[in-house]
Amino acid sequence: MSQAEAGAAGAVAARGAVPGATAPPAVPRVTAAGYAALFVSELGLVFRRARTMALLGILAALPVLIGVVVRLRTGGARGEGPAFIAQVTQNGLFLVFTALAVALPVFLPMTVGVVAGDAVAGEASGGTLRYLLVAPAGRTRLLAAKFCAALAYCLVATGVIALSALATGAALFPLGEVTLLSGDTISAGDALLRALLVALVVAASLGGLVAIGLFVSTLTTSGIAAMATTVVLVITVQILDTFPQLEAVQPYLFTHRWLSFSDLLRQPMHWDNVLADLGLQAVYAAVFGSAAWARFTSRDVTG
């Protein structure tokens, strides 16, 4: 165990581009503590980046923008625009759902694509990957740590949108009982719980994209290329999702059921589509995660 921790410590040291720390030659054992250290180190790598902070800042600004626009443009003429936006004027809590629905198709996958696409390729192009692999942490565990760190980013990004929307909604609009899509009315406390659940489902919906981004990231040594490919892929898939001719394929597109989180805003909650979405994400994570693993554990690291 101490060896594994030493290995993880070596990984941290390598990240700072300090190649002096020679790794112990012994074979590391797989331990939870060693993995946790690696994961924490990855988290630090993701969240200490100025780029990540800027992305989170954009995500936080989005609900504020929506809230201010809705507030300024509401001259009693409700019913314009999507229903979710119209509801915001009556209840600030709805801004959470509105902001998530607006951010999910483009903003969230874009930032997730940046983080996941950069995970391996960025280090390869930066030259830090080779030092990282000298440390006997194991490529499999390194990849797993990167996957989990990117998933954690999804959670944080979704949480930032939800919290910013909640604060903006509370500041600009009245709070109170929420009317669900099925016409039932629930208290503000229940609505908060549902908002939490929705945010979790939205974060989990990005799991498939994380695996795809990680796989793309193992294919190239250019971080920019990996990020761009992932983002373009998300947009392409969503465009394909709109063609009626592709109806037979669409249920298998990973973006197809992203908006199913709205089914949790019914009484009783309708889980079929949400579970189908989560299952689909699990399949994508398994397929592209194993592809990333196959590629990453067998490729020559030249960067």
On whether the CB atoms of residues 162 and 199 are closer than 8 A, the answer is yes
CB-wise, 75 or 300, nearer to another protein? 300
Q: Coil, strand, or helix at residue 265? A: helix
- Tell me the closest approach of the beta carbon of residue 258 to another protein, in angstroms: 10
- Tell me the closest approach of the beta carbon of residue 28 to another protein, in angstroms: 7
CB-wise, 153 or 293, nearer to another protein? 293
Cβ-count burial 131-145 (b if 16+ within 10 Å, e if not): bbbbbbbbbebbbbb
CB-wise, 50 or 189, nearer to another protein? 189
Q: What CA–CA distance (Å, rounded) separates 230 from 122?
A: 14
Residue 41: closest CA among 19, 18, 8, 17 = 8
The one-letter amino acid code at 184 reads: D
- Tell me the closest approach of the beta carbon of residue 156 to another protein, in angstroms: 25
CB-wise, 54 or 140, nearer to another protein? 140
- Tell me the closest approach of the beta carbon of residue 133 to another protein, in angstroms: 6
Cα-based angle 99, 104, 108 (whole degrees, multiple of 5): 100
Binding site for another protein (CB under 8 A): 27-28, 30, 79, 82-84, 86-87, 90, 101, 133-134, 136, 138-141, 176-177, 179-183, 185, 259, 262-263, 266, 268, 270, 272-273, 283, 286-288, 290-291, 293-295, 297-301
214 exposure class (CB count in 10 Å sphere: 0-12, 13-18, 19+): buried
E-state strands within the chain: 178-179, 185-186
CB-wise, 100 or 226, nearer to another protein? 100
- Tell me the closest approach of the beta carbon of residue 221 to another protein, in angstroms: 16
CB-wise, 7 or 55, nearer to another protein? 7
- Tell me the closest approach of the beta carbon of residue 240 to another protein, in angstroms: 17
Q: What CA–CA distance (Å, rounded) separates 178 from 189?
A: 10
